[in-house]
């Protein structure tokens, strides 16, 4: 996606859709609300491990401490229709980006990008509390940047 184009629908993707992508979904929504931008944000996983499940309790807890509510989100798996339905698909890491590049029609590859642009968003699932805090720090910083760029575009 051309960086100067403001999307109307954004999908954030990680592996299971219970840590990184729901965190990014909630933070992006909060930033968009503050900026009064009407952009739809959803999240999904490349795998179906947790479809229908709430985010990881640690993600919920750490996000809540910063004022984000993940408790009503439920994991889903990306579908082929999503490549057409979303203007921008922001991916947590290179492994999931590879998965999406294989699944996504070649003419839509321009919609795929790493969430952090030039680095991977670390997966906190197998780690300690500090990993969830790091994810929040990185997501908050990037969400603020994205919303600033999108606001300037309008």
Would you please indicate which residues are annotated as catalytic (active-site) residues?
A: 14, 20, 123
Please give the Cα distance from 86 to 79 (Å, whole number): 11
Do the beta carbons of residue 85 and residue 8 sit within 8 Å? no
For residue 46, what are its two tokens?
């490349």
Please give the Cα distance from 48 to 56 (Å, whole number): 15
Residue with tokens 């579908």: 79
Please give the Cα distance from 58 to 91 (Å, whole number): 21
The CA-based angle 4-123-5, given to 5 degrees, is: 10
């Amino acid at each position: 996606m051309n960086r100067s184009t403001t999307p109307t629908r954004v999908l954030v993707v990680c592996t299971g859709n219970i840590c990184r992508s729901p965190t990014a979904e909630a933070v992006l929504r909060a930033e968009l609300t503050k900026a009064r931008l009407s952009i739809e944000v959803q999240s999904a996983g490349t795998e179906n491990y947790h479809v229908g499940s709430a985010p990881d309790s640690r993600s919920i807890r750490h996000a809540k401490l910063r004022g984000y509510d993940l408790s009503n989100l439920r994991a889903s798996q990306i579908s082929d229709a999503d490549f057409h339905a979303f203007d921008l698909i922001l991916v947590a890491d290179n492994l999931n980006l590879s998965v999406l590049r294989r699944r996504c029609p070649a003419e839509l590859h321009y919609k795929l990008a790493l969430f952090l642009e030039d680095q991977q968003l670390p997966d906190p699932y197998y780690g300690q509390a500090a990993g969830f805090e790091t994810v929040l720090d990185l997501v908050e910083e990037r969400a603020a940047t994205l919303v600033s760029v999108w606001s300037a575009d309008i």
